[in-house]
Amino acid sequence: MILSNRLKFCRQNMNFTQKEMGKIFNVSLSTISGWENGYDDIPLKKLSIFCNKFNYSIDYILYLSNNNIHYTNCNINQKNIGNNLKIIRKSLNLTQQNIADLLNISRSCYCQYELGINIPTTTFLYSFAMKFNVSIDKILDRKKISD
């Protein structure tokens, strides 16, 4: 579970209530509260919608970066995500089992992410990014917008 995120700060900066955010994402006020307070992790698709709609970097929202770099919108494409995970793993000279062991998940679970069978959870991507010092925005193929 990701205990720290900037959702609340960003929501308040935009002068939205939790109830208004709940309507935007078609979830309850208590769900928004759970995301903001770290009781629940925001699903990757919902996080992507938030970042696309309000022009935030996923890395910024999850405190992987202190800079809100502007990226193009992304669509969650599990095949592309899996391919990017594989490229990173191979660049680190690690096996799927090494990654699974380091992140405390099963090799089967990691393999399904890498093959694009399942969409990685936000928690997994956060752990992966922290462990290997990589950008979630780049794993999702978001391209930086020039200033």
| Full domain range(s) for residue 106 | 78-139
Q: Give tens-digit pLDDT for 1-43.
A: 565 688 999 999 999 999 999 999 999 999 999 999 888 989 9
Q: Give tens-digit pLDDT for 118-144.
A: 999 999 999 999 999 999 999 998 888
Please indicate, yes or no, whether residues 92 and 56 belong to a single structural domain of this protein. Answer: no
Please indicate, yes or no, whether residues 52 and 13 belong to a single structural domain of this protein. Answer: yes
The domain total for the chain is 2
CATH number at residue 13: 1.10.260.40
Please indicate, yes or no, whether residues 96 and 129 belong to a single structural domain of this protein. Answer: yes
The Cα–Cα gap between 138 and 97 comes to: 23
The Cα–Cα gap between 134 and 147 comes to: 22
Identify whether 144 is part of a domain. Answer: no
Residue 144's φ and ψ, nearest 5 degrees, are -65, 135
Identify whether 121 is part of a domain. Answer: yes
Please indicate, yes or no, whether residues 56 and 14 belong to a single structural domain of this protein. Answer: yes
Identify whether 126 is part of a domain. Answer: yes
Residues in the chain: 147
CB 102 within 8 A of CB 131: yes
Q: Give tens-digit pLDDT for 47-90.
A: 999 999 999 999 999 999 999 988 888 889 999 999 999 999 99
Please indicate, yes or no, whether residues 53 and 84 belong to a single structural domain of this protein. Answer: no
Identify whether 67 is part of a domain. Answer: no
